[in-house]
Amino acid sequence: MRNESIRYLIVPGWQGSPDNHWQSHWQRTLPNSARVEQHDWLTPQRQDWVQALEQAIAAERSPVILIAHSLGCITVAHWATQASPALLRRVRGALLVAPADVERPTCAPALRNFAPIPTEALPFPSQVVSSDNDPAVSVPRALYLAQVWGAEAGLLTNAWHINVKSGHERWEQGFAYLYRLQSRVEQRALRRA
């Protein structure tokens, strides 16, 4: 995956992505990538996280593809509802992996300030990837979020939360979803040219 004109912004979820998480591996692997850093990974505040994402996108000169995991996916959805048209145009696409359902009854209290989850369509191509046994989101909810966000949906079997605990340290097969998303981004650009 080489596209020097695109900046890959990694958007981790709650507690960040440790060094052996697939997002960290991808950051080391993808050219021209960076991570959205949060001031507080343990007690996330929605507005703070959205603002950090906004600042990261605004700081980029290149167009960006967002690669989000868990609470990072919800942060992207919140950001998209309030971002300026100029910043929205900088985002070419978003890969949204294992979105955390912060409205579920078993959601950790620290994450509940991210509810309600925005249900507006994202103004850029997006791909949701979830698992059929993710404790953070049910299959119907993952498919619903993909639908309302206008995203393609991919469902993995027995992949849990697609993180280190579920054995997804490198998650090389995830690049297929990124390639697919990037292909859609390129096709969209050609149609607009």
In a domain, 169, yes or no: yes
pTM score, whole prediction: 0.95
Measured CA to CA, the distance from residue 53 to residue 51 in angstroms comes to 5
Measured CA to CA, the distance from residue 90 to residue 14 in angstroms comes to 25
In a domain, 133, yes or no: yes
In a domain, 134, yes or no: yes
- Residue among 100, 97, 158 nearest 128 (CA): 97
Q: What is the pLDDT of residue 165?
A: 87
Q: What is the pLDDT of residue 117?
A: 98
Distances (CA, A) of 107 to 95, 100, 104, 110, 154: 22, 9, 5, 8, 23
DSSP E strands, 138-185? 152-156
Which CATH number covers residue 139? 3.40.50.1820
In a domain, 122, yes or no: yes
In a domain, 23, yes or no: yes
- The domain in which residue 141 lies consists of 7-192
Q: What is the pLDDT of residue 15?
A: 95
- Tally the domains of the chain: 1
What's the token pair of residue 191? Answer: 């149609």
In a domain, 2, yes or no: no
In a domain, 32, yes or no: yes
In a domain, 1, yes or no: no
- Residue among 162, 155, 156 nearest 72 (CA): 162
Could you list the pLDDT tens digit for every one of the 193 residues in the chain?
A: 445 589 999 999 999 999 999 999 999 999 899 999 999 999 999 999 999 999 999 999 999 999 999 999 999 999 999 999 999 999 999 999 999 999 999 999 999 999 999 999 999 999 999 999 999 999 999 999 999 999 999 999 999 999 988 888 889 999 999 999 999 998 888 887 7
